[in-house]
Amino acid sequence: MRIVLMGPPGAGKGTQATAISQRLSVPHIASGNLLREHRAKGTPLGEEAGASMDKGLLVPDGLVIRMVLDRLNQPDAKDGFLLDGFPRTGEQAEALDKSLGLRGVQMALNIAVGTDELVKRLGGRLTCRTCQTPYHPVTAPPKVARRCDKDGGELYQRDDDKPDAVRQRIEVYNKQTSPLVEYYGRRGTLKEINGEQAIDHVQTAIFAALGVKA
């Protein structure tokens, strides 16, 4: 299947993306990871994107689209894929569908979580300074207080995980993605998933929407 996964910060997309990718045997393609890989390898696309990022500018839509389409043309994605973090706007969604043609996106899953719940989740989140692994004192606590399970790095709270910043991030996300939700809604490919349930219940709802057994 060709799937787009959407959801605000703190919705648990990473956890669900891993489960979907494994269950359907399709690659999980996260645009942020893709961008970092291109920069690390020094590819022409990575260098072009880095020129914008180094100036504090957003990477142009056209460049992001080229990067994603280049990845979708690789052999492991020929029978399906799971896109995470792309498209982010209606314009990007239109460009993606136009490029894919008859192989267009089959389903857009939107994990919906209310602002208060997201603030509760992200407001207590801690991040490892060295490997960036996230933790939460209630839902995903570290084995040793303030230390990362993976590398022992110090855990700290990022400025953008503080309550006021979280609310601002969510507001920006909702404004940015509302046209995208409308785009897929008009095409009948949008599936809303209640992301405020327990993780396993969210996963069950996603698999039901996809028409596969958990």
Q: Which residues are catalytic?
A: 13, 88, 125, 158, 169
Answer yes or no: are the C-beta atoms of 3 and 108 closer than 8 Å.
yes
Nearest residue to 5 via CA among 77, 88, 64, 118: 88
C-alpha–C-alpha distance, residues 146 and 73, integer Å = 42
Answer yes or no: are the C-beta atoms of 111 and 12 closer than 8 Å.
yes
C-alpha–C-alpha distance, residues 191 and 189, integer Å = 7
The residues, any chain, with a CB within 8 Å of residue 199's CB and separated by 6 or more, are: 12, 15
b/e string for 188-199 if b means 16 or more Cβ within 10 A?
Answer: ebbbebebbeee
Answer yes or no: are the C-beta atoms of 29 and 82 closer than 8 Å.
yes
Answer yes or no: are the C-beta atoms of 46 and 39 closer than 8 Å.
yes
